[in-house]
Chains A and B, each alone.
Chain A
Amino acid sequence: MAFALVTPLGVMRETEVESVVLPSALGEMEILPGHRPLLALLVPGELRLRQGEQGESLVIDRGFVYVSRDRVVVTVEQAMRLQEVDVSAVELAQRRAEEALRAAAGQREALDSEEIKRLEAKIRYQLAQKAVKNRYS
């Protein structure tokens, strides 16, 4: 079946696959050829592609998966290949985000709720990057 991974920066991956494993809001799910039409919410986590012996792992941010006509389209805000995840850089970014959030907690009105939500989403994605990376090392 056809697979495509789309982010705001363009089409990141477009390939034929036999199986896709995704972090859905209800837990991990696998999509195989012939799957029913599906639209599901995705949470930050690991996306695994398999084609024959070949496998590939990516870390994705929140988004959606859409299965129709034997095509799987994953639309997420950010994605990164597992090899490209740099744990030390992630930790640094995470510390910065958490600090900003702590600073904001003292003075809630200075930072609006939208900004806090954004920071929290950022931290969730960073946690997912770390968790997936740790799984493989």
Chain B
Amino acid sequence: MKGAKEIQQRLRAVRNTAQVTWAMQLVASAKRQKAQALALRGRPYCLRLAELLRCFSEETLKGIAHPFFERREVSHRGILLVGTDRGLCGSLNTNLFRPVAGLENIRWMTVGKKASQYVSRTGGELLASFHISDRVEFSELRPIGEGLAQAYIQKRIDTVEVLFPSFVNTLLQIPVLQRVLPMRDFQSEFDALLQRYRLRTEDFRPDPREMIGEPSIAELLEELSHAFFRYQLYQILLEAKASEQSARMVAMKTATDNAENLSKGLNLEYNKVRQAAITNEIVELSMAQLGMEE
């Protein structure tokens, strides 16, 4: 058994850790609430834009000469990896990188330090890396959106895909690889979105009648694709931030709980050692007394 002093030192260290993780848990908890509210409130807009795009069939798109709808051979996939800047958020980043491990012919863009570290560690080709603050301002999106669109239009990449931790609830975040460009298969994309937001398909049945488009299909598609491109990316960043803060809060809570359990155990051990020492001393005293009486 260890000495009382060693146990006491250990106990102090564990208690300090618990205090730090508890403080971090509180901070993450406050940020989580904000991030979750932002993510949830942005969903309807994104969903409605996706619903509008669903009105356009593959047939209609064939007559539209817009790079966002262009079908071309894929020689390089472009993936935007949305990780976090800091660690201490459990297995969020590790889980995120798993679906793309070992993929070839990818040119990367990243958000967050952990994502760029992953790309350089695996020897990937990094085109650009960005930073997003905890507040996720819409203006922070612009360089990312433009960077992706430029690279796509200049054919340095032939797809734009985003890998991010999709927010389900505080305890659950799922990595999702979402294709952003080229835009197509609107029906299945819309269904995937409904499923991710846990909404019922029956509430969003398409209208079978023929639709009028004003002022013209081409103008509508131009505006709509532009708006959807930006707001879809923005929503993805919001979701990723909500996931990050949730994962961090849960990780910190687990750490605090662990430290508390550990400190309980150590406290018990310390008390036992101390009691054993006292008992020993009493035994020694009474032995000595017995010896003197004889």
Interface size classification for chain A:
20 to 34
Chain A residue contacts of B234, Cβ below 8 A = 8
Nearest Cβ in chain A — how far from B38, in angstroms?
9
| B214 and A64 within 8 A (CB) | no
Closest 6 CB pairs of A and B: A68-B207, A40-B214, A10-B41, A37-B211, A75-B48, A37-B207
Binary CB contact string for chain B from 39 to 52 against chain A (1 if under 8 A, 0 otherwise): 00110110011011
Chain B count of residues within 8 A CB distance of the other chain: 29
| Bound CA–CA A116/B227 (angstroms) | 17
Chain B residue contacts of A75, Cβ below 8 A = 45, 48-49, 52
Contacts A40-B215, A41-B214, A41-B223 given; 17 further ones with Cβ under 8 A? A9-B42, A10-B42, A10-B44, A24-B214, A37-B211, A37-B212, A38-B211, A39-B55, A39-B211, A40-B212, A66-B51, A68-B211, A69-B207, A73-B48, A75-B45, A75-B48, A114-B142
Decide yes or no whether B206 CB sits under 8 A from chain A.
yes
| A6 and B142 within 8 A (CB) | no
From known contacts A8-B231, A64-B52, A69-B207, infer whether A41 and B219 are also in contact, taking CB-CB under 8 Å: yes
Binding site for B on A (CB under 8 A): 6-11, 24-26, 36-41, 62-64, 66, 68-69, 73, 75, 77, 114
| B205 and A69 within 8 A (CB) | yes
| A9 and B41 within 8 A (CB) | yes
Binding site for A on B (CB under 8 A): 41-42, 44-45, 48-49, 51-52, 55, 138, 142, 146, 205-207, 209-215, 219-220, 223-224, 227, 231, 234
| A41 and B206 within 8 A (CB) | no
Chain B residue contacts of A8, Cβ below 8 A = 42, 45, 138, 231, 234
| A39 and B52 within 8 A (CB) | yes
Chain B residue contacts of A62, Cβ below 8 A = 223
| Bound CA–CA A69/B206 (angstroms) | 8
Of chain B, the residue at the smallest CB distance from A7 is B45
Of chain A, the residue at the smallest CB distance from B235 is A8
| B45 and A38 within 8 A (CB) | no
13 A-B pairs whose Cβ atoms sit less than 8 Å apart in the complex? A6-B48, A26-B214, A37-B212, A38-B211, A40-B212, A40-B215, A41-B219, A41-B220, A63-B227, A64-B220, A64-B223, A68-B211, A69-B207
Nearest Cβ in chain B — how far from A25, in angstroms?
5
| Bound CA–CA A14/B224 (angstroms) | 22
| Bound CA–CA A39/B211 (angstroms) | 7
